[in-house]
Each structure stands twice: as structure tokens, then as C-alpha cells.
């Protein structure tokens, strides 16, 4: 499964119709979640939620305007959150189990195999449900003529700060044969260096968020100056200038996010093309960002984004990717195996037992490669403990993000 994304062009009336469809999808998702909460002790399953969509369509006229399969997709989103909660309970995950929450800011609506139709040139798409979205032009570099209509399993409309996008989930097992290089590599993710490998090569951390922080703070201050708390208390809408400033601020954040994503994609592609086996740390990023001193730097590094691209491109080009436990990879000496304790501020590994001297991150990369070669038979450990979307289908979160999304430059 692969995701192709296009920017859509339409009229203001059509954009308002897309917003209405997104709100309706969010409403159905929340109603299905409430239905599960009210019947939690029974043997409720995903098919019961799909049946409940028909009840909602009969009760609410605006819900009936949305395509029936789009309503089912909203119910599936609710059930995916419920199933994830059940799985965490069965696995006895430490801490919060992720009890499903009601959605307030959904940014996408998903259609399955009905409710839409591509033009003969595949450069426009028409939505035929009662939301009256109509025909939207597709702007992008990919050509959908290479694929049969039956291969397109889902179509999503996504709202972002700089406009609206259409995503096509194409059912294809995209694999490319690569000439074996005979090289293996262990990489260590860090804050000083983005990655460091076992051969001593390092990639500097770009720090896109840190470099854009001054512009982001300035845009945030301008937005705050146009905010009127009196209107908030009176439950009145904010001014048009406030909403314009809010969009400008969101666009700057979107630009930083895209910079980080393209950088991670480029580095991951280079690593996969140069090596037949890649070993890396199985980091618990969600736990690491709880450190309030390093949370901003860790989030700016984009470790999870890099890992998801590394695994996807490894599957695509036939390279083996191995996630190894990160315990003591920085502390142990890669030459003699003895443990050498050091703080985060100590950037050079000096072993008092064998005299081995190396950069801290390079030493960790050597240990990671050694562990990866020992456990090479245990592959397929993915970033969030589940199979990625290209392996199990293409379910999209309500914010419209997709890990294996190959988007054109717009």
C-alpha cells in the first residue's frame, strides 16, 4: 500500500463543503465512541459500529448527506482507537493505556471505493455525495494512469494550514531490486549529531525548529495581540485578522514539519541505498520526551520520522533493518566490552581497561551494529510496536498524516 498526495484546487464554496464533510466525519466518530462507552460490557465489535452509522444517518439529516462508506471509515477510526486500548490492556503496558478520547480537531475525511470518481485524464476528482463538494482539480507530479481504479482503495480529503489535499491509497506492493553493496552499518541517533555510524561518519543535526524559533515566536505574538478574551467570554467569534494571523502562524509550523520530514527521508534513503543491513536503536521516544530539559531538542530531531522512513525504504529496496535494545550502547566499550560510565556531557569515550578512545556516538554505533548482527534473525521490529501502514493497509489518523506518504513537491 502506498499513498500519493495531490493538492486540490476548487472554489470557496467547495472548501466549505469539505469542511462540512470533515465535521460530519468527526461527529460520527465521536458518536460511535459514545455508543461503545454506553455498551462497554457487551460483546460489541467493529461491525456493530458500522451498523450504528445507519442509525445516525436516519436520525441526523446532515449525517445522511455523507457517503455511506465515508461514515463507515469514521466508525473504523473509532474502533481502531478502541482496539488499541484493548491491546495495551492485554499487553499490560506500563502507565496510561490510551483510553479512547473524543476528537475535537479532525482534519480529514476518508472515502472508500464509492462516493468519488476520477476524470478520464486522472487530473480531477468528483465527489458525488450530498455534501456537494463537486469536482476538484488535482495538482501534483504523480500520474494515476499507471494504476487501475480498482487498486485505489481509499481517497482522503485533508485540510492543512496551506490548503486542501487529496490522498490516494493505492494497493500495490512496491518493491525495487537493488544491487547488493556488501555493506552493513550501525547508526546511533543523537542530539549533537543527527546520526553517527560505526565507521565514524556523522550527519549534523539540522535543528529546523531551533533555527525558525525567532520567526515562530514573532508570528505567535502577532496572533496573540489580535486575540480578544472578551469575545471568548461572550462566546463570540474572533476577528478576521486573528484568524489570518493564526493561519500564518500555522503555516510556519507546517514548513518546519515538512523540512524535517524531507530531511529524514533523504538521509534514510541514502543509508538504505548504501547498505544491505542497517542496525539502529529501538528508542522509546515517547518516554524520552518526558524529560523537560531535552523534550524540545528530541522532538526537533525527528527520530520517529527517520525510523519510519528507514523501515519503509528498507522494505521497498530489500535492505534488512534491525532494531536493537539501546541499553548501555553508549556506556559499554566497543573494543573490550567493559562498562564505562559517563554522563551526557562526556562526548568522548575513553576506556580505562583497554585504552580505546573514540567519539561517544561512534562507539555506540559500533555496539549497535554488533548487537544487530547477533540478532539479525529477529527482524521486523517497527517504530511503534505495530506493523507500518504499508504492511497492513492504509489507515490514516484523523490529522491526515501518513508515515509512508510519498508527496510531490508543491
List, for residues 294-317, the tens digit of each pLDDT value: 899 989 888 999 999 999 899 888
The pLDDT of residue 381:
45
Q: How far apart are CA 93 and CA 372, in angstroms?
A: 25
Q: Which three cell numbers stand for residue 254?
A: 507546517
State whether residue 324 is helix, strand or coil. strand
In the predicted structure, residue 354 carries a pLDDT above the cut 80: yes
Using CA atoms, how far residue 112 sits from 156, 323, 386, in Å, is 9, 34, 23
Mean pLDDT across the stretch 199-224? 92
In the predicted structure, residue 34 carries a pLDDT above the cut 70: yes
Mean pLDDT across the stretch 359-370? 86
> 96 Cβ partners below 8 Å, 6+ apart?
none
> 340 Cβ partners below 8 Å, 6+ apart?
331, 332, 333, 349, 350, 351, 352, 353
Portion of the chain with pLDDT greater than 70, in percent = 91
Which phi and psi angles does 131 have, rounded to 5°? -75, -15
Q: How far apart are CA 334 and CA 351, in angstroms?
A: 9
Which phi and psi angles does 195 have, rounded to 5°? -140, 150
Count of residues making up the chain: 410
Q: Which helix (H) or strand (E) holds 186?
A: strand 184-189
The pLDDT of residue 192:
85
Cα maximum dimension of the chain: 76
Condensed to tens digits (0 to 9), the pLDDT of residues 227-257 reads 999 998 888 999 999 999 999 999 999 999 9
Please answer whether residues 189 and 283 qualify as being in contact, where contact means their C-beta atoms are separated by less than 8 angstroms.
yes
Nearest to 16 by CA among 166, 137, 159, 112: 159
Q: Which three cell numbers stand for residue 327?
A: 541499553
Task: Grade residue 172 by pLDDT with cuts at 50, 70 and 90.
Answer: confident
> 394 Cβ partners below 8 Å, 6+ apart?
1, 3, 153, 154, 169, 402
Look-up of cell digits 501518513: 402
What does CATH list as the number for 184-379? 3.30.420
Mean pLDDT in the chain? 86
In the predicted structure, residue 395 carries a pLDDT above the cut 80: no
Q: Where are the domains of the chain?
A: 2-170, 184-379
The pLDDT of residue 399:
57
Condensed to tens digits (0 to 9), the pLDDT of residues 102-157 reads 998 899 999 998 999 999 999 999 999 899 999 999 998 888 888 889 999 999 99
Paired residues of 406 in beta bridges: 4
Entry pTM: 0.84
Q: How far apart are CA 260 and CA 9, in angstroms?
A: 26
The pLDDT of residue 161:
92
Amino acid at each position: 500500500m502506498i499513498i500519493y498526495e495531490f493538492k486540490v484546487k476548487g472554489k470557496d464554496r467547495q472548501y466549505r463543503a469539505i469542511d462540512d464533510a470533515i465535521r460530519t466525519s468527526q461527529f460520527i466518530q465521536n458518536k460511535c465512541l459514545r455508543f461503545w462507552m454506553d455498551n462497554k460490557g457487551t460483546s460489541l465489535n467493529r461491525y456493530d459500529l458500522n451498523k450504528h452509522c445507519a442509525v445516525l444517518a436516519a436520525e441526523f439529516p446532515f449525517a445522511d448527506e455523507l457517503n455511506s462508506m465515508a461514515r463507515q471509515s469514521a466508525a473504523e477510526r473509532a474502533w481502531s482507537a478502541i482496539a488499541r486500548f484493548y491491546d495495551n490492556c492485554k499487553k499490560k503496558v506500563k502507565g496510561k493505556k490510551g483510553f479512547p478520547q473524543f476528537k475535537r480537531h479532525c482534519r480529514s475525511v476518508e472515502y472508500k471505493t464509492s462516493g468519488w470518481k476520477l476524470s478520464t485524464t486522472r487530473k480531477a476528482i468528483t465527489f458525488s455525495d450530498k455534501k456537494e463538494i463537486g469536482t476538484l482539480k488535482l495538482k501534483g507530479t504523480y500520474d494515476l494512469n499507471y494504476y487501475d481504479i480498482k487498486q485505489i482503495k481509499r481517497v482522503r480529503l485533508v485540510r492543512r494550514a496551506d490548503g486542501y489535499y487529496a490522498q490516494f491509497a493505492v494497493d500495490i506492493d512496491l518493491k525495487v531490486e537493488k544491487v547488493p553493496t556488501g555493506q552493513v552499518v550501525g547508526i546511533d541517533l543523537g542530539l549533537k549529531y543527527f546520526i553517527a555510524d560505526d565507521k565514524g561518519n556523522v550527519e549534523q543535526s539540522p535543528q529546523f525548529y531551533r533555527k525558525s524559533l525567532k520567526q515562530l515566536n514573532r508570528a505567535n505574538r502577532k496572533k496573540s495581540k489580535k486575540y480578544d478574551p472578551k469575545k471568548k467570554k461572550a462566546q463570540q467569534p474572533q476577528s478576521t485578522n486573528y484568524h489570518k494571523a493564526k493561519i500564518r502562524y500555522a503555516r510556519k509550523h507546517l514548513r518546519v514539519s515538512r523540512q524535517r520530514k524531507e530531511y529524514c527521508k533523504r538521509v534514510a534513503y541514502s543509508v538504505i541505498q548504501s547498505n544491505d543491513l542497517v542496525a539502529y536503536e529501538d528508542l522509546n521516544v515517547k518516554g524520552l520526551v518526558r524529560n523537560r530539559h531535552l523534550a524540545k531538542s528530541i522532538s526537533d530531531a525527528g527520530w520517529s520520522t527517520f525510523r519510519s522512513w528507514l523501515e519503509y525504504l528498507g522494505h521497498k529496496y530489500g535492505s534488512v533493518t534491525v532494531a536493537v535494545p539501546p541499553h548501555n550502547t553508549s556506556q559499554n566499550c566497543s573494543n573490550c566490552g567493559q562498562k564505562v560510565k559517563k554522563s551526557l556531557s562526556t562526548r568522548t569515550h575513553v576506556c580505562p581497561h583497554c585504552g580505546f578512545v573514540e567519539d561517544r556516538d561512534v562507539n555506540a554505533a559500533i555496539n549497535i551494529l554488533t548487537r544487530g548482527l547477533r540478532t539479525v534473525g529477529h527482524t521486523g521490529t517497527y517504530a511503534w510496536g505495530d506493523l507500518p501502514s504499508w504492511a497492513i493497509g492504509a489507515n490514516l489518523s484523523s490529522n491526515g498524516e501518513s508515515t509512508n506518504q510519498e508527496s510531490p513537491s508543491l
